[in-house]
Structure 1
Amino acid sequence: MANKVRVQEILLKALENLNADELKRFQWHLVQGVLDGLPPMAKAKVEGVSLDETISQLMQFYDDKPAVTVTATALRRMNQNQLARKLDEALLTEFVQGHLEGNTGKDLIPNA
């Protein structure tokens, strides 16, 4: 399994190009709830905080795989398909690298 810090780095890299309004919209999605079966995040945890802090809160609230899935789903709902693809590609790279090192990373790839 990729470590939590590496997952945070992947999420940060995928989301770093969001402008302030897009970050607010991403945070709104987190508060509204993104996936059935997973609770929405508390508004106080993400409202008005930086991208770094949003990712930290996301990782604390969800485990690695749900955090990645929630992020990708929220991006797609925002029509940020290029960023969602960037996230998918980074995860695939991590999966391949982990596989070569004996760690499949399968727990991070949605639906794997």
Structure 2
Amino acid sequence: MANQVRVQEVLLRALEDLNADELKRFQWHLVQGVLDGYPPLPKAKLEGVSVQETVNQLMQVYDDKDAMRVAEITLKRMNQNQLARILTEALVKGFIQHRVELNKGDDILP
């Protein structure tokens, strides 16, 4: 559960940098399906919802790593490469798990 909270925080911080139109595009990609073999998010669950609810929906459908991966790929498709890089680095470095295990600080982005 603690790991899930951290993943949610990383996703939230990254997606908060999107403006309203970019968030709608992000949600559109999620409804279309991002990865083969992974279910798309239901359109009704994403229509007109906030960044926080978008993250909640990601976490309900996917496990931690898959939610991060889906978000990363979606951001790349939107040419939001800086935000995608933040998520990639968090996964590659095991930053999220490392922070949870050590219980250090609130700064969760590399």
TM value normalised by structure 1: 0.80
1:13-65, CA deviations, whole angstroms, 9 ceiling, x for partnerless residues?
A: 11111000000000000000000010111001111100000000110111111
Q: Which moved more, 1:62-71 or 1:1-10?
A: 1-10
Matched AA of 2:25: R
After TM superposition, list the pairs within 5 Å mapping 1:1-112 onto structure 2.
3-91=3-91, 92=93, 94=95, 97-98=98-99, 101=102
Amino acid at match of 1:15: L
Shift in Å at residue 100 of structure 1? 7.5
Segments of 5+ residues of structure 2 without an aligned counterpart are: 103-110
**What TM-score, normalized to structure 2?**
0.82
For the aligned residue pairs, the C-alpha RMSD in angstroms reads 2.1
Report the Cα distance in structure 1 between the residues aligned to 2:96 and 2:81, rounded to whole angstroms. 21
Number of residue equivalences: 101
8 Å contact kept, 1:2–1:98: no
Question: Deviating runs (4+, > 4 A) in structure 1?
Answer: 98-101
